[in-house]
């Protein structure tokens, strides 16, 4: 049997990079073909993603080594099944954590991701690295492998950290003047503040009054809901969030994001039923299509924001797009993107109606792409879809040195 070396996976490993001053360390998943091509994804977030991949390199290599890159069975869910054959991801559809069996819909997260979610975010990097290698093997950008036709995407700017209406307005106007008509504002006043609703509405009133008429604003409530599942105050906090949403609706925001905790399906239902005309967004902190589906079945989300780096990689993101396109025609997809390389390819492969624009986190992304040959960033409100083979610009070895390679010790 002959083997096409460039199309055959040899190894999954992790490379550790540091800048030339040895001050900034990042780790990337690296998939190597027998022909010497490499696919990358990262940087991995913190020790939890690194550990989740590194401790399972033997399983990933056993599952992938020697297989053709374009084997359709190679995708995120098969990676999961290889590691956890007795813990199907379909448990999410019933509100259960697939590893612990715990009820998620009435639980309270103590961190941004659940423990199982942290593993899923790590496995997502392996999936994205496989797609990067596929693009390099075919000498095409991933968007073209996915059938994408769009070369340019409209972008919105995510503006974190405004504490006053004046600060929020300054950011919005600055970006508007640079060609960005859409931006996202984070409301700062939480349910513990008795005047929180009034103070938050002052943000909306200020921006609505002073921004140009064609500006469009999204509002993110995620930082207000971190204690919404405190049993002792849950009812009052949900009432607070529902009242805030009601007062926001007349301002016609593009969407109101995460008005309650990510897994709080009952809270979403309470808010949506009380405010049926509200446009709600969520999914950034949900994992896989099975976690998302119950929210869609109940009509609770108008915009889905599953992040390819967190929800299961490019494979799972495309599965989510197909599910929504076939079964939920009124729902739109705008992926959250704390990294700017995978998301544009996913959006470019969808219709404008299904996925109208892409997110850019200007305060986060520059640091995450510091080791690549160039930065992918929108200009005048438009993001050009990367046209390099794979997911985008390659790592630039003049900007770093490799300090360590983590490999499957059993295969060395």
> What gap in Å lies between CA 272 and CA 229, rounded to an integer?
17
Domains contained in the chain, CATH given:
1-139+397-407 (3.30.390.10), 145-384 (3.20.20.120)
> What gap in Å lies between CA 37 and CA 308, rounded to an integer?
23
Average the pLDDT over each of 20-34, 66-80, 137-151 and give the range with the smallest value: 20-34
Angle of helix 313-327 relative to helix 288-297, nearest 10 degrees, comes to 20
E strands within 122-267? Answer: 152-159, 182-186, 216-220, 256-257
List, in order, residues 6 or more apart from 274 with CB less than 8 Å away: 242, 245, 246
φ, ψ for residue 303 (rounded to 5)? -125, 135
State how far Cα 31 lies from the chain centre. Answer: 21
Give the pLDDT confidence of 324-366 residue by residue, as tens digits: 999 999 999 999 988 999 999 999 999 999 999 999 999 999 9
Give the pLDDT confidence of 105-145 residue by residue, as tens digits: 977 777 789 999 999 999 999 999 999 999 999 999 999 99
Confidence of residue 406 (pLDDT cuts 50, 70, 90): very high
Tokens at residue 35, please? 């022909």
- The shares of helix, strand and coil residues in the chain, as percent rounded to the nearest 5, are 40, 20, 45
E strands within 97-151? Answer: none
- pTM (two decimals): 0.95
E strands within 319-392? Answer: 332-333, 357-360, 382-384
Give the pLDDT confidence of 197-246 residue by residue, as tens digits: 898 898 899 999 999 999 999 999 987 765 555 667 778 888 889 999 99
Average confidence (pLDDT) over 35-51:
95
Question: Phi-psi bin for 331: left (phi > 0), alpha (psi -120 to 50), beta?
Answer: beta
List, in order, residues 6 or more apart from 21 with CB less than 8 Å away: none
> What gap in Å lies between CA 171 and CA 189, rounded to an integer?
18
> What gap in Å lies between CA 93 and CA 323, rounded to an integer?
14
E strands within 174-326? Answer: 182-186, 216-220, 256-257, 280-282, 303-304
Average confidence (pLDDT) over 95-99:
97
Q: What angle do CA 189, 191, 196 make, to 5 degrees?
A: 45
Tokens at residue 396, please? 């630039």
φ, ψ for residue 376 (rounded to 5)? -95, 115
- Nearest Cα neighbor of 5 from 86, 94, 66, 82 is 66
Mean predicted lDDT score pLDDT of the chain: 92
């Amino acid at each position: 049997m002959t083997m096409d070396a460039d199309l055959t996976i040899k190894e999954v490993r992790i490379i550790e990079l540091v800048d030339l001053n040895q001050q900034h360390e990042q780790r990337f998943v690296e998939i190597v073909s027998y022909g010497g091509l490499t696919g990358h994804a990262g940087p991995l977030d913190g020790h939890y993603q690194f550990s989740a991949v590194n401790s399972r390199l033997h399983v990933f290599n056993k599952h992938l080594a020697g297989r053709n890159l374009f084997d359709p069975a190679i995708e995120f869910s098969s990676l999961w099944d290889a590691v956890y054959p007795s813990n199907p991801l379909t448990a999410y559809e019933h509100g259960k954590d697939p590893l612990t069996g715990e009820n998620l819909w009435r639980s309270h997260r103590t961190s941004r991701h659940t423990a199982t979610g942290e593993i899923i975010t790590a496995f997502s990097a392996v999936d994205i690295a496989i797609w990067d290698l596929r693009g390099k093997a075919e000498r095409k950008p991933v968007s073209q492998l996915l059938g994408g036709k769009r070369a340019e995407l409209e972008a919105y700017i995510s503006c974190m950290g405004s504490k006053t209406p004046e600060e929020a307005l300054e950011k919005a106007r600055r970006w508007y003047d640079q060609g960005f008509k859409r931006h996202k504002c984070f409301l700062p006043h939480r349910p513990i503040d008795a005047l929180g609703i009034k103070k938050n509405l002052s943000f909306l009133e200020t921006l609505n009054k002073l921004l140009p008429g064609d500006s469009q604003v999204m509002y993110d409530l995620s930082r207000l809901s971190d204690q919404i599942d405190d049993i002792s105050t849950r009812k009052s906090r949900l009432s607070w969030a529902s009242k805030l949403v009601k007062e926001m609706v007349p301002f016609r925001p593009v969407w109101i994001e995460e008005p309650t905790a990510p897994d709080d399906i009952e809270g979403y239902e309470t808010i949506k039923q009380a405010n049926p005309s509200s446009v709600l967004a969520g999914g950034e902190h949900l994992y896989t299509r099975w976690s998302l589906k119950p929210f869609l079945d109940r009509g609770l989300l108008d915009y889905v924001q599953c992040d390819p780096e967190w929800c299961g990689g490019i494979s799972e993101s495309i599965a989510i797009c197909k599910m929504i396109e076939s079964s939920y025609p009124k729902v739109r997809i705008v992926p959250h993107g704390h990294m700017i390389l995978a998301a544009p390819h996913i959006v470019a492969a969808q219709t404008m109606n299904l996925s109208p624009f892409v997110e850019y986190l200007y305060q986060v992304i520059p640091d995450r792409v510091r080791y690549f040959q160039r930065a992918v960033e929108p200009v005048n409100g438009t993001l050009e879809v990367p046209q390099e083979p794979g997911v985008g610009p390659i790592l630039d070895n003049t900007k770093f040195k490799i300090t360590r390679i983590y490999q499957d010790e059993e295969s060395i």
